[in-house]
Amino acid sequence: MTIQLSDNMRGAAYMSISMAAFVLNDTTMKLAAEHLSMFQAMFLRGIFTTILLGALTAYNKAFVFRIPKADRKTLVLRLIGEIGGTVCFLTALFNMPIANATAILQALPLAVTLAGALFLREAVGWRRYLAIAVGFIGVLIIVRPGSDGFNEFSLWAVAAVFFIVLRDITTRQLSQAVPSLFVSLLTSIAILTVGGVLSFTMEWKPVTAEGLFLLSGAAVFVIFGYLFSVMTMRVGDISFSSPFRYTILLWAIILGIIVFGDIPDQWTIFGSLIIVGSGVYTFYRERFMGRRAGAGTKS
């Protein structure tokens, strides 16, 4: 018996898989920080990722030799979002606990919902706008600017949120003429190039076998993250699939404790609960409004 999933449910499944892959990538990249500088790790991982994605793209005959004119600007903006998000988040990840950096990133579903309303004209009413505002208060609780527990690198995680919103919104605008695999390949090449150029600004450390092993593992995980994140944005509603990003937080906390011995403090947990609660509310509100779509009411 074959179960047919709706577009929204497929988007939710793709998002969950993408988040699992990204947190595993984050863990291996943070471990690699013990052996390599950030841009060096970004560059070397990019080599592995580009080779694997190039092979997958060739196998699936997904190369595009002429990108439709209407997609070119959108694709460039997506690459800017991906590169900016990668650099900002890795800077935060390499310098703070993985759970804290990941928790800040959980404001992303709320930010994407807001962007979807502002730029894609998706229906969002005052209740979800209020939930978005409350979620951003949760981010401030985690960051705690001006307090003794403030870590300046948390601002890099906040900046990553804005770049990733740009990535997700522009992905939504790409036509089906540009295959997901090809988009992922271009992304990998762009990150490889930026990592390679910026690696000259930092000390080039000796490459160890353990470092290469970690980077190759990160490359595999990030490929799955790329593919499923692109697929997520191209099916269903953004406001439906975005809350499933929260699955990454549980894994980040567990792996942070087991692998790095980092136990989140009460403020990080409290702020995370506020963000997750706001996101879950928007999820259920979207479901509720979907059932009342015929009435023409927005909320």
Is pLDDT at 79 greater than 70 in this prediction?
Answer: yes
Predicted confidence at residue 84, as pLDDT, reads 96
**Segments making up each domain of the chain, as ranges:** 20-290
What pLDDT does 109 receive? Answer: 77
Instruction: Give the Cα separation of 45 and 50 in Å (integer).
Output: 9
Report pLDDT digits (tens) over 118-142: 887 777 777 888 988 999 999 999 9
CB 204 within 8 A of CB 40: yes
* Confidence category of residue 1, pLDDT binned at 50, 70, 90: very low
**CB 169 within 8 Å of CB 232:** no
What pLDDT shows up at residue 159? Answer: 95
Direct distance between the N- and C-terminal alpha carbons of the chain, in angstroms, rounded to an integer: 38
What is the distance between the alpha carbons of residues 255 and 23, in angstroms, rounded to a whole number?
Answer: 9
Q: In the structure, what pLDDT confidence band is assigned to residue 39 with cuts at 50, 70 and 90? A: very high
Whole-number pLDDT of residue 201: 87
pLDDT band at 296 (very low <50, low <70, confident <90, very high): low
Contact 214, 40 (CB under 8 A): no
Nearest to 225 by CA among 268, 167, 141: 167
Half-sphere exposure of residue 180: CA atoms within 13 angstroms, side-chain side: 16
Confidence (pLDDT) at 137: 92
The mean per-residue pLDDT over the stretch 250-271 comes to 89
For residues 249 and 6, the model is more confident at 249
User: How many other CB atoms sit within 10 Å of the CB of residue 9?
Assistant: 15
Residue 191's pLDDT band (cuts 50, 70, 90)? very high
- 202-215 pLDDT tens trace: 888 888 889 889 98
pLDDT digits (tens, 9 = 90+) for 213-232: 998 898 889 888 877 877 88
pTM of the model: 0.81
* pLDDT > 70: percent of the chain: 92
Helix (H/G/I), strand (E/B), else coil: 161: helix
Question: Which of 23 and 2 is assigned the larger pLDDT?
Answer: 23
Q: For residue 283, is pLDDT > 50?
A: yes
Residue for token pair 């076998």: 209
61 or 227, higher pLDDT: 61
